[in-house]
Amino acid sequence: MKQKILDDKLFALHAEVCKSMANPTRLKILNALENGEQSVDVMAKSLGLRKANLSQHLAVLRQRGIVATRREGLNIYYRCANSKMLKACEILREVLLEQLREGGKLFEQLGKGRK
């Protein structure tokens, strides 16, 4: 029973983290942070996002503890808070890239989920 409760917490946590990553923009943000910290301003420009919207996405990642921040003058620098988590994310991306290259089913079914 005790184990079941831990499992429930774990599945809930896992779902929360997946939810954080369940958005192309947030995945692009995490991707941008793979090579080190970046300010919001620079990210907004390189990703082509409005600052307010980027900030909203960063807030999601921050609240889940996926990214961390550091202020320096006017700029706030974001970085990945947990390299293992980012690595796990990358592994999934590699698997999917492989699928894409193989022209597998996953590719064709993209977007055919819930309308």
Partner DNA sequence: CTTATAGTTTCGAATATTCGAAATTATTTG
Partner DNA sequence: CAAATAATTTCGAATATTCGAAACTATAAG
Alpha helices in 1-115 (DSSP H): 2-21, 24-32, 40-47, 51-63, 83-102, 105-109
Q: Which amino acid is it at 79?
A: R
The residue among 17 and 76 lying less far from a second copy, judged by its C-beta, is 17
Tell me which residue has tokens 């390299």.
Answer: 83
Q: Could you say whether residue 52 binds DNA (CB under 7 A)?
A: yes
CA distance 23 to 90: 15
Contact residue for DNA among 2, 4, 112, 114 (CB under 7 A): 114
Applying the rule CB under 7 A, the residues between 83 and 112 that interact with DNA are: none
Applying the rule CB under 7 A, the residues between 8 and 27 that interact with DNA are: 19, 22-23, 25
Contact residue for DNA among 56, 82, 83, 99 (CB under 7 A): 56
CA distance 105 to 89: 21
- Kindly state the smallest distance separating residue 26's Cβ from DNA, in Å: 7
CA distance 25 to 46: 12
Select the binding partner of residue 10 from a second copy, DNA, none (C-beta < 5 to 8 A, by kind).
a second copy
Residues that bind DNA (CB under 7 A): 19, 22-23, 25, 39-42, 44, 50-60, 69, 71, 73-77, 113-115
